[in-house]
Structure 1
Amino acid sequence: MDRAAPHVLYIAWGFPPSRGSGVYRALATANALAAGGFRVTVLTCERESFYRYTLADPTLEERIDSRVEVVRIPFDWPVMDLDVRRWDRERARRPRAWTLRRVEQDQEGFPEASYGPWLEPLVAAGRALHRRDPLDLVVATANPNVSVGAAHRLHTELGIPFVLDQRDSWTVDVFDGTENPDRRVHELEAAFVADALEVWFVNEPLRAEHAARYPASASKIHSVANGYDLELAPSPVLSAPAPEQPLTYGYIGTLTPRLPLVEFGEGWRTARERGGVVAGARARLWGHLGFFAVKDASLSHVLEQHDDGISYDGPVPKAAVRTIFEEIDVLLLILGAGRFVTSGKVYEYMASALPIVSVQEPGGDSARVLEGYPLWFPAADLTPGAIAQALEGAGRAARESDETVRRRCLSHAEQYERNRQLGPRVAALHDAVSAKETS
């Protein structure tokens, strides 16, 4: 990389080998910055943190652009350390009281449970990097928001411009729309937005919401959708399955308590009982149970209740996801409620050209993205009958849709290829930094 190229620091907690949902955006952003003419240094946490607390996908590290330098610093997450051999006497005797006290302690310097103490190590590492090789720009991605807190500190102390990739929202719960009750959060967000060079959100509803909150900054607030990565996207399925082959419905993604899995199960049972195209089908669910290394017991219980063709088939490394799509005839987009909820998987789903069943309360933002996709079958609501109807419609479409229809699906999906989302913003940042250097 040309040493004269502008130097950008990208701060992201969830960077490969993290297996969290935000890691794909982080990986793509770092690579896009490198492809867009920046010298890129990523500041993230040690690999061991992911293996210990959230599990990891080591195949993702192979996809980091060779021009990207990755700097890793320690991250300690005591609340998530469940190895009692490392607990002190106080925690062992009163674990709940210890946890509550620790959560309060974490937020003394920065109002974010678990991540607050990481602010000072991030800032110190950023200063050291700037001394070694001056930074022209910092891009910080949330969640966690401490990454943005560090970028803002580097801006106020050293004058380095920064970009806030907020992704979702810090002040608004994207599922139920409630406000974060901590006034410090609102004050910090207002300062971050006011001082940032640009602010990015993952969808238009979030962009519009925050533009309305911060009208003086509205022109620099952008929607940058997650999109799908060409090298990781499924190969499009352009033909129907063999007539004698039972249909396979499939879900790929993290399974969380926010998802209407119970409602889906009731709708699935109804569809099978009604006969027709779903009667002999099966539903396969792939993904981690929850976000952390310890499996979510409540989700395990929900999935164990089914003996009607639904199976949980475990997590899949990202490198193997493409082959999983080849086993599916109809995709299940099971999502939590919320007008700000789009989900990253919707883009990858569309790139497959397969029929898609939406199982979500009406009003979610994924509907805006899927509008116009020829093989989209949204459940009108979460009643068993409505879900069954959507499952049946998608099953018939899987049997009957020809290559012409499926290519129309591909055409709709192409607008959401990730580089089309990131490219304009990376180019704008390069122009802005270059203009500053020549002025």
Structure 2
Amino acid sequence: MKKRVLIITYYWPPSGGSGVQRWLKFAKYLPEAGWEPVIFTPENPDFDLKDESLEKEISNELEVMKFPIWEPYQLLDRIRGKKESHPGRVLEQKEQSFIEKAAIWLRANLMVPDPRVFWVKPSVKFLTELIEKGQFQAIITTGPPHSMHLIGRDLKRKTGVFWLADFRDPWSQWEFLDKLPMQNRVRDKHKKLEQEVLNEADVVTTISPTFQDDLEQLARRKINLITNGFDETDIPQGFSVGEKKGDSLHLVYTGIIDSIRNPMPLLKAMREEFSKEKGEVKFTFVGRVSDQVREEIAADSWLLAHVHFAGYVSHQEVFGFYEKADALALILTNTKNAKGNIPGKLFEYMATTLPILALGDPEGDSAKILKEAEAGQVFSHSDHVAIQVSLRKLFERSGKAESARGIEQYSRRNLSIQLAKLLDADSVS
């Protein structure tokens, strides 16, 4: 008989983006490893990105409990008379109104750890009875939003249930918090709550070696590493990138471009290297691109002619863009958390067999993974010469791309087996 694990996650289809992929895939493969997952997620969440195609991946046998949530964004929308009042998006605006500045201050200082904190008490009240009746042998919380971990903390305190806390990003050391006008006493509260979660969870997991080391220093305990990965069943039947012809280059980037992901050094290197080149050169963004980057591209005639915006597409549609690419661009963050930045799409990129050119920390976790797999290279945002040399090599390259070495270890199925072992080791049978 399978043991049941309750997965408490804010992000769930139709939410799009990397935040939903991790636990959607674990829920898919955990049954093969002896655990029956049950999802607990908001009934009416305020998602930033939506991808309704992901709902097709939810098994008919998977139980999904949706519980009402109240979030302050809707109230702010009414006050502003606009949509999309998430402080994360408002922070990217060049000019902010008094109301918007006030909203950011309130989010920073009164909603700790985040605006989803209002979901904690009602969720704990609802779930306590189910756990006390023995419906679940373990619970998992995944953050951000880190309010999910407070649900796990309170359920652990009330019921003693086995609890695994999963950190997809740091908490008190998260670069996003540095953007907020946060008072010192509030930052101290974040640290206190974080310590409670790190101390009281039975198992803690995170996605990168750097985050693992940072959390171990904070917690003075073992933190388990389970990276993100790729799902071979996502790759469409008949998918092929074909052979590349020399003296041409089509680079494709998939995902979000925002205030902490700057593609301009790569684009400027392309212009400098190929502005007098007769061969075909093209760069395609697939996903949401910040207004600031769009404006910079629009102001440059060469970039305007060679950069294309496909907009946000479903996850399945992304593979059509991979097939048309000669190489893939990966824009990592250039911030204090950059070393531990391993985006989920890195593993899918490697699964395509296309070469990868990345901007980020050359000594970071993503760089080490790419080097080990012989799948690409990471360059510093300021290393213009090396970026140009790499672009030239990709331009002149021809022939069939080679598969990344050792990529099997990053399959979602294998990662789910690792997760199940952590649950089996300590949870009550």
TM value normalised by structure 1: 0.83
Letter in 2 for 1:147: M
1:238 to 1:374, Cα distance in 2 relative to 1, 3 A: farther
| Equivalent position of 1:292 in the other structure | none
Residue 432 of structure 1 corresponds to 426
3-state SS in 2 of match to 1:311? strand
Q: Show the 5 A alignment for 1:40-439.
A: 40-46=37-43, 48-50=44-46, 53-79=47-73, 83-84=77-78, 95-96=99-100, 99-100=103-104, 102-103=106-107, 106-107=110-111, 111-130=112-131, 134-173=135-174, 182-215=187-220, 217-218=221-222, 221-233=223-235, 237=240, 239-242=242-245, 246-273=248-275, 275=277, 279-289=279-289, 296-305=290-299, 306-337=303-334, 338-379=338-379, 381-397=381-397, 399-400=398-399, 402=400, 406-407=402-403, 409=404, 411-433=405-427, 436-437=428-429
Q: Deviations over 1:343-383 (max 9, x none)?
A: 11111111111111112243332101101333424335534
Stretch moving more, 18-27 or 181-190? 181-190
**Are the aligned partners of 1:79 and 1:99 in contact in 2 as well (CA < 8 Å)?**
no
* Contact persistence 1:8–1:39 (CA under 8 A): yes
Q: Is the 8 A contact 2:8 2:148 kept in 1?
A: yes
Aligned equivalents of 2:210 and 2:177: distance in 1? 14
Counterpart amino acid of residue 284 in structure 2: R
What CA deviation, in whole Å up to 9, does each residue of 1:46-70 have, x standing for no partner?
A: 2x434xx413111111101332211
Q: Is 1:28–2:33 an aligned residue pair?
A: no
Change (3 A) 1:55 1:227: closer
**C-alpha displacement of 1:331:** 0.6
Gaps of at least 5 residues in structure 1 are 290-295
* Partner secondary structure for residue 107 of structure 2: helix
Q: 1:142 to 1:281 in 2, by over 3 A?
A: same
Q: Distance in 1 between matches of 2:147 and 2:191?
A: 14
Following superposition, the deviation at residue 208 of structure 1 comes to: 1.8
CA distance in 1, matches of 2:133, 2:295: 52
Instruction: Tell me: CA distance 1:362–1:378, structure 2 relative to 1, closer, same or farther (3 Å).
Output: closer
CA distance in 1, matches of 2:70, 2:45: 8
The amino acid of 2:174's aligned partner reads D
Distance in 2 separating the partners of 1:152 and 1:263: 43
Q: Tell me the distance in 2 between the aligned counterparts of 1:35 and 1:383.
A: 45
Residue aligned with 1:342, SS:
coil
- Quick one: distance in 2 between partners of 1:78 and 1:127? 25
Deviation at 1:333, TM superposition (A): 1.0
The percent of aligned pairs where both chains have the same amino acid is 22
Q: 1:175 Cα deviation (Å)?
A: 8.5
- Relative to 1, partners in 2 of residues 1:333 and 1:156: Cα closer, same or farther, differing over 3 Å? same
Q: Residues 151-193 of structure 1, C-alpha deviation per residue, up to 9 Å, x if partnerless?
A: 1100001111100011221021368999995112222222212
Q: 1:385 to 1:101 in 2, by over 3 A?
A: closer
Query: What is the one-letter code of the residue matched to 1:195?
Result: E
1:342 is displaced (CA, Å) by 1.6
Code of the aligned partner of 2:67: I
Q: 1:249 to 1:297 in 2, by over 3 A?
A: closer
Question: Residues of 2 paired with 1:412 and 1:382: CA distance?
Answer: 30
Residue 241 of structure 2 contacts residue 323 of structure 2 at CA under 8 Å; is this kept in 1? no
Change in 2 beyond 3 A, CA 1:368/1:383: closer
Per-residue CA deviation, residues 217-248 of structure 1 (Å, 9 max, x unaligned), is 22xx111000111112477747423569x431
Structure 2's unaligned 5+ residue stretches are: 86-96
Q: Distance in 1 between matches of 2:22 and 2:370?
A: 20
* CA distance in 2 between partners of 1:176 and 1:130 (Å): 33
> In the aligned structure 2, how far is the partner of 1:42 from the partner of 1:303?
42
Stretch of structure 1 that moved more, 357-366 or 73-82: 73-82
TM superposition shift of 1:207: 1.0
TM-score, normalised on structure 2? 0.85
